[in-house]
């Protein structure tokens, strides 16, 4: 991937270039998390944070599809 220039907004926001979003498999879903992995005088490195879906995917034989969705529903369910 070739380098791309980005601009910092007044709210300290940057737009991730399309080629980088595609390579990382990012979607328009708000709330995707990143980890600041490294900061130097001239460099900031972000890494895509692991999600519950990523973890469950590693154990796909142990957990059925949509396990994370079912877990979220159980957490939000009211218990008597």
Give the start-to-end residue ranges of the domains of the chain: 1-49, 50-80
Model confidence over 50-76: pLDDT tens digits?
A: 776 666 665 656 666 667 777 778 778
Domain at 1-49, CATH from 2.10.260, 2.60.120, 2.40.160, 2.30.30: 2.10.260
Task: Name the residue among 48, 53, 80 with its Cα closest to residue 69.
Answer: 53
Confidence of residue 38 (pLDDT cuts 50, 70, 90): very high
Terminal CA-CA length for the chain: 54
């Amino acid at each position: 991937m070739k380098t791309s220039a980005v601009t910092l907004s007044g709210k300290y926001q940057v737009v991730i270039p399309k080629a980088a979003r595609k390579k990382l498999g990012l979607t328009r879903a708000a709330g995707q998390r990143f980890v600041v992995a490294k900061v130097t005088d001239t460099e900031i490195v972000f890494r895509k944070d692991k999600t519950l879906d990523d973890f469950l995917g590693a154990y796909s034989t142990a957990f059925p599809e949509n396990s994370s969705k079912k877990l979220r529903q159980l957490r939000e369910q009211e218990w008597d």
